Chain A
Amino acid sequence: MFAGFDIVLVIAGGLLAGLVGSLMGLGGGIIAVPFLNLVLGIPMHTAAAAGLVSTLCVSCSAAGRYLRRGGMIDIPLALRLELFAAAGGLLGGFLVGWLSGSVLQVLFGATMAYAAIHILRTAHQAPMRQDVTTRKSSWRMPASYLLCLVAGVMSGLFGIGGGIVMVPVLHLFLSLPFKHATATSNFMMGLTAVSALCGFVARQQLDLAVSGPLAAGVVVGALAGAKLMPRLRTPLLKRIFGIVLALTAFEMARKGMTSW
């Protein structure tokens, strides 16, 4: 039976996911899913569905802020790329039904390891350029569509936002300024999460007792993260988070392999 203490733990997990996610520019799912699965023992599929709800919360709060500022989100580009990300999310959300929890744990561990490497590599980079002209040459757009499809599938499979793929695509591939790339990715993540969630709802894996408290924690955590951001030393935080993420990735993959 779901008890009061469990709710407090889920809220705490949501707070952590929202706080760290907003400090690191992630959707929060990459923290919420392992927390629910490894710490609270919630089945992987249910944890992934809750991760998508946490992604929705972060996207709704962040994209709203960016839309109000105006000019931060490249809407025409986001809409075109989102066509593929949403299709990927739909595909991933249904495909995950065919994967066992242990296979999902191993794949999630690999994705977390990639995210950890990416975060550790960028921890000490100088602030990224903000004045680059967007490049949409003939081969870049089709390649970006394909990568967004992959990000969508990952989002549907693991309950993450897919920002770890979308932001590099928008910034490095299409040369969108970094802040604009993050804002555009935030706008896209919510729609991808909605299309991915349908598969989980069909299989009755979106647990309301987990998703509600997690969502509340994430919303508050994300807000606190946005307020704390200017006062914190981001490179140090990124290094610590990257190491924690790498260790969690290892534990997730190990657990998946032992129960294969």
Chain B
Amino acid sequence: MLAGSFLGAFLSLLAVSALVVLGADLTPWPLGFDAWWQGNHAWLRFVAGTGILLLVAIPILMLISVASHALRARNWENLLVVAGLLTILALAFVLARFGW
């Protein structure tokens, strides 16, 4: 997890730094559901966004790992709570994608 957060943060930093060196206009540059990588130097923009998405993915992967442990231990109660949490995260994603 520490390695994942290092990787995500530094991928993003390196791509943003390269874009600044190349003189790209970075304001405003929001991460959204549309093509946030579009514009000049699309690959660098894609890498910067992927770094942040990697950071977002880590807690979700951690949750999935907890769910798999609960499944192997047949701990249905924990599994149900994890399912509830994943539902909340999915709801957040759907609301963000399709509107409040």
Contacts and interface: CB of A to CB of B under 8 A. Distances in A.
Query: Is this pair of chains taken from one and the same complex?
Result: yes
Interface of A: 1-4, 7, 11, 53, 56-57, 59-61, 63-65, 67, 75-76, 79-80, 82-83, 86-87, 89-90, 93-94, 97, 187, 190-191, 193-195, 197-199, 201-202, 204-209, 211-213, 215-216, 218-219
6 contacts: A1-B25, A2-B27, A83-B81, A94-B100, A190-B58, A202-B95
**Interface core residue of B30, B91, B95 (most chain A CB under 10 Å):** B30
A212 B9 contact: yes
- Interface size range of chain B in the complex: 35 or more
Interface in B73-100: 77-78, 81-82, 84-85, 88-89, 91-93, 95-97, 99-100
A199 to B, nearest CB: 6
Contacts of A93: 92
B43 interface: no
A61 B81 contact: no
> Dominant SS at the B interface?
helix
Contacts, number: 175
A250 B34 CA distance: 39
B77 to A, nearest CB: 8
A139 to B, nearest CB: 21
B81 A2 contact: no
Contacts of B8: 215
Given A79-B66, A207-B30, A208-B48, 14 more contacts: A60-B1, A60-B55, A61-B5, A63-B59, A64-B1, A86-B92, A190-B59, A194-B89, A204-B32, A207-B27, A209-B19, A211-B31, A216-B10, A219-B6
Contacts of A65: 2
Nearest to A213: B13
Contact of B100 (A53, A190, A197, A202): A202
B58 A212 contact: no
A230 B9 CA distance: 26
B55 A90 contact: no
Contacts of B93: 198
A198 B48 CA distance: 18
A190 B55 CA distance: 9
A87 to B, nearest CB: 6
Contact of B85 (A4, A79, A208, A218): A79
